[in-house]
Structure 1
């Protein structure tokens, strides 16, 4: 996956808002995996993945329709989504 910037986390958190709370953790992990796979695809073939984008977390999230305006960080639902994305990123870095 390409380097993660604050906008990537925001886009992924907004994508998570569109699904039920019980599905958010799984979707966050899936978005991270898709961004990883898209980055490998981009490096190997020299073009963006048709569904998951250019290897950024933002591209993977925007492919799921994360177009709504960014909520405030004190919005409880959005804060939970933001945390889920950060946890998925931290889990990715942990050795298995």
Structure 2
């Protein structure tokens, strides 16, 4: 399960949305944002239209739809910097976890093919 390419604007938009939350809540909100963004991207690919609540599968679209009305913050704002740190930290963790899962899935596919069994649709759904 991977996210689309994440750009700096995506990170900034999500951090702007999270800047008013307590630090412990920001980590959970980031993980939810990554999962919902991934689901929105799958929705868009399969149905050919954007998800009504989570956008087109980009973090920016999700952040703009979810955290409407949040104003731009400058890098002098401590709450924004804290949120930016949380987003980057959680993004790094997300990527590491997904890479580990992908490696596990790849190994499972190799084992299944060696045994003469196809990997099946379960693995293919998450290999995009």
TM-score, normalising length: structure 1 = 0.88
Q: Which residue of 1 aligns with 2:38?
A: 36
Determine if the alignment matches structure 1 residue 4 to structure 2 residue 6. Answer: yes
Task: Return 5+ residue gaps in structure 2 as ranges.
Answer: 102-128
| TM-score normalised per structure 2 | 0.68
Larger Rg: 2
Note the aligned Cα RMSD (angstroms).
1.5
Bigger helix fraction = 2
Report what 2:79 is aligned to: 77
The 5 Å alignment of 1:1-96 reads: 1-94=3-96, 95-96=100-101
- The runs of at least 4 consecutive aligned structure 1 residues that moved more than 3 Å come to none
Tell me the distance in 2 between the aligned counterparts of 1:79 and 1:56: 21
Deviations 1:15-71 (A, max 9, x none): 112323321111011111111111111111111111110000011111222432221
